[in-house]
Amino acid sequence: MSGSLEQTFASAYSFLNRRERTTEEMRAYLAKRTDSDTESIETVLAELTERDFLNDERYARCFAEDRRNLDSWGSQRIYRRLLELGVEPETAQQASRAEDDEQELTAALALLRRRVKVLEPDPAARQRALGVLARRGYPSSVAYKAVRMLEQETLARRESLEAS
């Protein structure tokens, strides 16, 4: 193995040591941080992929799960970010898709309960709530359902308080 190839491998392992990476992130890093030629970089990428140190599908699944659970991102935002990271569109689509529509609706409603709490029955409040969900990348159909559900919860709470 040539010195340059050894240095490229060392840089790659060092970069992977911090966290998992996409193939495209690794390619860009090695091109910028090493004086390796394209052929050496591609050799390193192929070896890392073969040894399963680089796996874009695994990366996309973990990224999507983390963003969904830790940051309350919706499927559209996850998809866009995976594309930005260099993940192939088909892989990004599969990873960003929620297990089912109910899962995404539940997550959107939970986000609204944390951020908005009570939704007044007025168009401006409804638009603000929809904006919260749109910025997090929830599809509009899910966002509208979640907003309607929070409005209904708010109304039911009010009626319950008034009845007591």
Give the whole-number percent of the chain exceeding pLDDT 70.
Answer: 98
What CATH number does the domain located at 55-97 have? 1.10.10
The predicted structure's pLDDT at residue 1:
47
In Å, how far from its chain's centre is CA 141? 19
Q: How many other β-carbons are positioned within 10 Å of the β-carbon of residue 69?
A: 10
Nearest to 132 by CA among 151, 155, 153, 116: 116
C-alpha 108/C-alpha 111 separation (Å) is 5
- Indicate if 55-97 has the same CATH topology as 3-54: yes
109 within 8 A of 138, measured Cβ to Cβ: no
C-alpha 41/C-alpha 80 separation (Å) is 26
Which architecture, in CATH terms, is 3-54?
Answer: Orthogonal Bundle (1.10)
Over residues 30-38, the mean pLDDT reads 91
The predicted structure's pLDDT at residue 94:
95
Average pLDDT of every residue of the chain:
91
pLDDT in tens, 100-137: 778 899 999 999 999 987 777 788 989 999 999 999 99
pLDDT in tens, 69-110: 999 999 999 999 999 999 999 999 999 987 777 889 999 999
Sort residue 15 into left (φ over 0), alpha (ψ -120 to 50) or beta.
Answer: alpha
23 within 8 A of 45, measured Cβ to Cβ: yes
So where are the chain's domains? Answer: 3-54, 55-97, 99-164
60 within 8 A of 87, measured Cβ to Cβ: yes
The predicted structure's pLDDT at residue 98:
77
The predicted structure's pLDDT at residue 122:
85
How does DSSP assign 64-129, residue by residue? HHHHHHHS---HHHHHHHHHHTT--HHHHHHHHS-SSHHHHHHHHHHHHHHHT-S--SSHHHHHHH
